Amino acid sequence: MMTEILAAAGAAVFITAVTRAKNALTWPAALMADAMLIFITCMSGLQEAMALIGMYLAVFVVDMIFGKKMEHATKEIQGKGGIRGIKQVLANGAAGCFCIFLYRITGESAFLIAYYASIFEVMADSIASDVGVLSKRPPRDICTWKVVSRGISGGVSVLGLLASGLVCVAGGLAAGAILHSSLKDIMIIILAPYLGMLTDSVIGSLIQVKYTCCVCGIQTERTEHCGKKTMISGGCKKISNSMVNTICTVVAAIAGCLFAIV
């Protein structure tokens, strides 16, 4: 176990160095990610920690490849972006850590499946956002199917849905190989994250806070636009993007756990 913890610590140092060099995470966020990595290694082992490393690296690499294009396409709309803080790290990883803790104290494999579901939901959602915004066709609101601005929460595109689906399939197959899982468990690890990702869009459409610019009238997620404060035009002020991410990782984890038990 000590060897695995040292390996996780080394990976944590590497991830911190890379993310800080690229200004992707704040120092508190990077240290929180390191703490999660070591916690998972202590609770379950290095192979589960490697899944978390894979998630962070996949999100980081995709952001490096598509981030500039996404930022250019959605800079007037999205309230997120730029360097990620500790709230974003907790939103993405807290549910997975809790699943690993439950797996440690109960030995129930359903919690391990729930862990992988939560991790792959984060990957699927991030890649759907980064890749989907590059679609030539405008996105549509997942609930009303009306055309919406690129980057607005609740908007989906065929390209984004396909990209996130491929992530879930790849993640499910990889987890299945690691865990020597049955076909049922592999399908759960594919479907539960996708369900969580779709839930993200539904919540984004229905209850995530949205604002309207008093000057140009554009709908946005920013609290300021055109140099003035924006007005709330929909959703709940307390439902931020980080909260939505937290909810959806929990949804993916619960779905994975329940499907595994049934």
**What b-and-e string marks burial along 3-34, b requiring 16 or more CB atoms within 10 Å of the CB?**
ebeeebeebbeebbebbeeeebbbeebbebbb
**Helices 158-179, 183-206: inter-axial angle, 10-degree rounding:** 150
Instruction: Give the model's pLDDT for residue 233.
Output: 86
Per-residue confidence of the chain (262 residues) as pLDDT tens digits? 789 989 989 988 988 888 888 788 899 999 999 999 999 999 998 889 988 888 778 877 777 776 666 555 555 565 555 678 999 999 999 999 999 999 999 999 999 999 999 999 999 998 898 888 788 899 999 999 999 888 788 999 999 999 999 999 999 999 999 888 999 999 999 999 999 999 999 999 999 988 888 988 888 878 888 888 999 888 888 888 889 999 999 999 999 999 999 8
Instruction: Give the model's pLDDT for residue 217.
Output: 84
Q: Which two tokens stand for residue 154?
A: 């609740």
The domain limits of the chain are 72-261
Residues 14 and 242: their CA atoms lie apart, in Å, by 25
Report the 3 state secondary structure along 110-157.
HHHHHHHHHHHHHHHHHHHHHHHCCCCCCCEECCCCCECCCCCCCEEC
pTM above 0.85, yes or no: yes
